[in-house]
Amino acid sequence: MASASTSSSPSSISSIILPNFTTLTIRFDRSNYVFWRAQLLATTRAHGFDGFLNGTAFPPPQLISEVASTSLDSIFNPEYILWLRKDQFLFSWLLSSISESMLGHITRCTTSAKIWSVLANLFQNQSRSRIMHLRLLLQTTKKADSSIDDYLLKMQGIADQLQAAGQNISDDDLILYVSWFGY
């Protein structure tokens, strides 16, 4: 097998059009993983890039064999180059959505899937404890001296945070928490 050639760059690779991802309104830090994740997933799904995050968009082989007139040469696979450009675009976009204080956790990551995996593993347990904390708040938050409007907004905010964390609180349950535990 001869050395790899870089001569295979069809026009489809040089003219790749990447989506114009919007800037996320939430930059990821220690306190907002669930919200950042929800916003990020919506954007990547909308553009068909979620496979790069969850690892289902596998990279094709880097090199392919090409039979020349007298020898067998390896050339760079155009499909791999396309995959790499898309992944590195997403990688760069992910980095721009993460606060500086969190970048230390992902310095050794080389793909967008690795960033996703590292952060998910790091914050999955914290998310569970956050859910437990929010459920406790629903049970223990009292109206006390606050107005009924302020109290209801606070309780609805807790329920919304649980919803964002993937924990549904039905309206009936929320009414129960407000009327039973609130006074």
Query: pLDDT (tens digit, 9 = 90+) per residue, 144-170?
Result: 899 999 999 999 989 988 887 778 889
- What mean pLDDT, rounded, does the chain reach? 85
Q: State the alpha helices, DSSP H only, in 22-177.
A: 33-46, 50-54, 78-96, 112-140, 148-164, 171-176
> Residue 73 — very low, low, confident or very high, per pLDDT cuts 50/70/90?
confident
Write b or e for each residue in 145-159: b if 16 or more Cβ atoms lie within 10 A of its Cβ, otherwise e.
eeeeeebeebbeebb
Query: pLDDT (tens digit, 9 = 90+) per residue, 24-39?
Result: 888 998 878 878 988 9
Q: Is the pLDDT of residue 138 over 80?
A: yes
